[in-house]
Amino acid sequence: MIAPGTPAPDFALPDQAGDEVTLRSLRGETVVLAFYPLDFSPVCSDQLNVYQEVVPELEARGARMFGVSVDSGFAHKAFRRELGISIPLLADFHPKGEVARGFGVYNEERGVARRALVVIDPEGIVRFAYVSPSPLEIPGANLIFDALEELAVV
């Protein structure tokens, strides 16, 4: 997993609408990347629903959250609609898992991203990184808020 203090690897991924999102374009903002294995799985649905509940508080603290999985933008669009969430979902679809690999959270055995959180500061430096020890464990929103508190102190 990528270590805090490391420059975050730049990426260019399509979101659920097919619009390209780059880390470079998000400079000046605090970015939270929530990696998850697959759209439409029960635990992933729960994970994104938990994060959706705290989106207003994240935004109030100046942070933008993005979900990242190896699914296509088409699957992401349907998944967002099914869940009724506003979190943009980025398609790490082709080359499959390239961004997850860059952040050190790709599970080669299963061909999906591990369940992980990464907080990137406005200068593009990773300030927090966490990967769940089990695919069934959802990283709690408290981890994000703790990381944002630490970032505010720095």
**Residue of 2, 21, 44, 48 with catalytic role:** 44
Asked if residues 9 and 42 have their Cβ atoms less than 8 Å apart, the reply is no
Mean predicted confidence (pLDDT) in 99-109? 98
Q: Could you tell me the pTM of the whole model?
A: 0.96
Q: Is the pLDDT of residue 126 over 80?
A: yes
Q: Which of 106, 143, 133, 129 is nearest to 8 (CA)?
A: 129
pLDDT band at 152, cuts 50/70/90? confident
Q: Is the pLDDT of residue 151 over 90?
A: no
CATH 3.40.30.10 fits 12-153, yes or no: yes
Q: What is the mean pLDDT of the chain?
A: 96
Q: Is the pLDDT of residue 5 over 70?
A: yes
Catalytic site includes residue 96: no
Q: Give the residues across from 31 on adjacent strands.
A: 64, 120
To the nearest 10°, the Cα dihedral for 18, 144, 49, 66?
0
74 conformational bin, left if phi > 0, alpha if psi -120 to 50, beta if neither = alpha
pLDDT at 153: 60
Q: Is the pLDDT of residue 134 over 80?
A: yes
Question: Residue 55: phi, psi to the nearest 5?
Answer: -55, -45
